[in-house]
Amino acid sequence: MGKLAFLFPGQGSQAVGMAQELMQNRQEAADIGKAADEAVGYNLTHLMAEGPEDTLTKTENAQPALVTASCAFLPAIEAAGIRPDFTAGHSLGEYAALVAAGVLSFAEAVEAVHARGRLMEEAVPAGEGTMAAVMGMAREDLETVLEAVQAEGEAVEAANMNAPGQIVISGSASGVARAGEKLKEEGAKRVVPLNVSGPFHSSLMQPAADGLTEVLDGLSFTDAQIPVVQNVNAKPTTDAQALKDGLVSQVTSPVLWEDTVRTLLDEGVDTFVEIGSKNVLSSLVRKIQRKDITVLAVEDEASLEQLLNLERGDG
């Protein structure tokens, strides 16, 4: 086997019941859940287990819940002696990637994303900002259209470069609507409004970035034991300060996910393991590189066993 990368999903992957089987069956995973409850100051694991879904989906709950669901798998993986060559996370998932790389403790990561979620909710009044997924348009063509809409005085930016022909835009409600019209006129196959509470990864999130700086200054960052490929520049680094700065920049900058996967491929990664709820990143990886790689989504006991067997050479 070549090199191995662990990937961690971001907001939108949350689901009622995520990681529950694992927490019921494995004490180390249950301990992760208890630590999360203590870090946020309420029964997050009960919300993950029972919902309701609309409460779990609130940004300030979804963010710590997703990091908890991902990190619940790490003790079993580490106990089996499986160590990735790189880690990366999509937006919020970068915090779980930092835990896996030894940069932040789990408790501090959950504390940070709980505050991050609240700051992002508060940055822009409800209804004023939004996001939309744009399908079937090249990045350069999309950027040209956005520049034209910005010249009209509208606030809209590229937010997530997810895969070829799959880009998310973010900005004011009117800016995203106007850009959507123009993008369809210019050949985009589809523009799908997203059910989000704000214009994430755009300059409108600057108040959240300012608040997050203060939160992160209170945490202990150490150099990574495993290189982390950052969202903001799609480059691997182990430097604690660069990783910390990247988390702040990430709030107002696009997530360069396609570039991140291409960096990992260039570094010789041929096995991608997504750890956490659902398999959104696994499907994006397959859109970016279809052949000569192994992609596995670890989201329950059965898929965890698959990873352990893959490493042992049993499967």
- Read off the pLDDT of residues 302-315 as tens digits, 9 standing for 90 and up: 999 999 988 665 54
Residue 131 burial (10 A CB sphere; 0-12, 13-18, 19+) = buried
The single residue of 13, 70, 197, 201 carrying the catalytic annotation is 201
CA distances from 13 to 52, 73, 125, 126 (A): 15, 16, 24, 21
> Would the CATH topology of 3-123+204-312 be identical to that of 129-196?
no
CATH 3.30.70.250 is held by the domain 129-196? yes
Contact 132, 183 (CB under 8 A): no
pLDDT digits (tens, 9 = 90+) for 136-171: 999 999 999 999 999 999 999 999 999 999 999 999
Output the average pLDDT for the chain: 96
Once rounded to an integer, what is the mean pLDDT over residues 66-80?
97
Classify domain 3-123+204-312 by CATH number: 3.40.366.10
pLDDT at 313: 59
Q: Are strands 129-135 and 86-89 parallel, antiparallel or unpaired?
A: unpaired
90 is catalytic: no
The single residue of 13, 70, 91, 197 carrying the catalytic annotation is 91
Domain ranges of the chain: 3-123+204-312, 129-196
Longest dimension (CA), the chain: 59
DSSP strand E in the chain: where? 3-8, 86-89, 129-135, 156-163, 166-172, 190-193, 228-229, 236-237, 269-275, 294-298
Of 302, 300, 230, 224, give the one whose Cα is nearest residue 70. 300
172 is catalytic: no
pTM score above 0.85: yes
> Which 3 state secondary structure label does DSSP give 192?
strand
